Amino acid sequence: MANFQFDLVSPERLLLSAEVEEVVVPGSEGEFGVLAEHTPIISTMRPGLVRVRGGEATSEAIYVAGGIAEFSNNQLTILAEHALPVSELDADKIAAEIKNVEEDIADAKDETVRAKAEIRLARLKASLPFANAR
């Protein structure tokens, strides 16, 4: 099977840059697979798992909290709002963070602080089902 270049970037770091055979993307309208020579596409993404197979990446699953995926010129680039390899997600730690953020929301005196905490809470809750899913 032919390979193509895949880059997954979050604001925190470059998570993956490799030649791969296939990537399954959690598109906002449903999951879709990308292979070499795919038709050019730009899609928003919902929270979910990006699954990578073959090539230099062998097999990986990366949680994304949303973002944009673009495929053109035999290259897929994902710009994720937030992303972590599934191996780094821990249900107990996420549950503890959820509790802390809920307390921050309850204690927030400023709407900006509250809004940022609510975004963080939504991101944490969306990642919980994928924790420890290897």
pTM for this predicted structure: 0.81
Q: Is the distance from CB of 37 to CB of 2 less than 8 angstroms?
A: yes
Q: Average pLDDT for residues 62-90, to the nearest whole number? A: 93
What amino acid occupies position 73?
Answer: N
Q: Average pLDDT for residues 37-42, to the nearest whole number? A: 94
Identify the band that residue 57 occupies on the pLDDT scale cut at 50, 70 and 90: low
What's residue 132's pLDDT? 65
Give the separation between CA 106 and CA 96, rounded to whole angstroms: 16
Q: Average pLDDT for residues 12-16, to the nearest whole number? A: 92
Identify the band that residue 32 occupies on the pLDDT scale cut at 50, 70 and 90: very high
pLDDT at residue 58 tops 80: no
Q: Average pLDDT for residues 78-83, to the nearest whole number? A: 94
pLDDT at residue 1 tops 80: no
pLDDT at residue 134 tops 60: no
Q: Is the distance from CB of 69 to CB of 53 less than 8 angstroms?
A: no
CATH classification code of 4-86: 2.60.15.10
Domain ranges of the chain: 4-86, 89-130
Q: Average pLDDT for residues 3-17, to the nearest whole number? A: 94
What's residue 56's pLDDT? 73
